[in-house]
Amino acid sequence: METPEEKKDNTGLIYDQAKNHFLGEFPSILPIEQAYVHIGMFLGWMLENELHSEIFEDEEAHQVIRFRNREITCSILSALWDGHLGGDLFSEEGNEFSIHYYQSGLYRKDYEAILAKGLPSIYHVKDDWENYEQISVKILERYEAWKEKSQ
């Protein structure tokens, strides 16, 4: 067990930001909200699997409840956080998994293979619960494999 002094500080990590996609390969014909979908799907999974930081325990708790109740979609969830996906949003374990899975590019490969196959880009993926459930199955599979390996 780590002492508080040995605890890793991942709060400065930035895994992704929607604004970076606006400046890159984002298709101008799509609504801007589409840049938030892939980020929101990962963020939503992390929230539903209790890998979030204490930030979500306070004033933002109602947004988590709204997401879990399917009252807001993944893109809206991501937009509430300005499209930011960073270490400040996740627990220590959440950050370790995010480094392994999201930052390594493995999440994007899975996202493309499962949801964007046959589409012009990852930004064309529909922000709906069916797609969220599909990618959630893969994220859980990756998480369980990572967890088993890291023990």
**Spatial separation of the C-alpha atoms in residues 136 and 42, rounded to whole Å:** 8
Q: Which pLDDT value is given to residue 1?
A: 38
DSSP 51-62: -B-GGGGTTTHH
Handedness of CA 40, 97, 14, 16 (dihedral sign): negative
Q: Which pLDDT value is given to residue 8?
A: 55
Q: For the whole model, what pTM was predicted?
A: 0.90
- For the chain, the domains span 32-150
**Spatial separation of the C-alpha atoms in residues 143 and 42, rounded to whole Å:** 12
> Is 127 a residue whose pLDDT tops 60?
yes
Task: Kindly state the average pLDDT of the residues 30-58.
Answer: 92
Task: Report the chain's mean pLDDT, rounded to a whole number.
Answer: 89
pLDDT tens-digit map of 85-109: 999 999 999 999 999 999 999 999 9
> Is 6 a residue whose pLDDT tops 70?
no
> Is 78 a residue whose pLDDT tops 80?
yes
Specify burial of residue 17 (Cβ count, 10 A radius: 0-12, 13-18, 19+): middle
Phi and psi (nearest 5°) for 17?
Answer: -145, 130
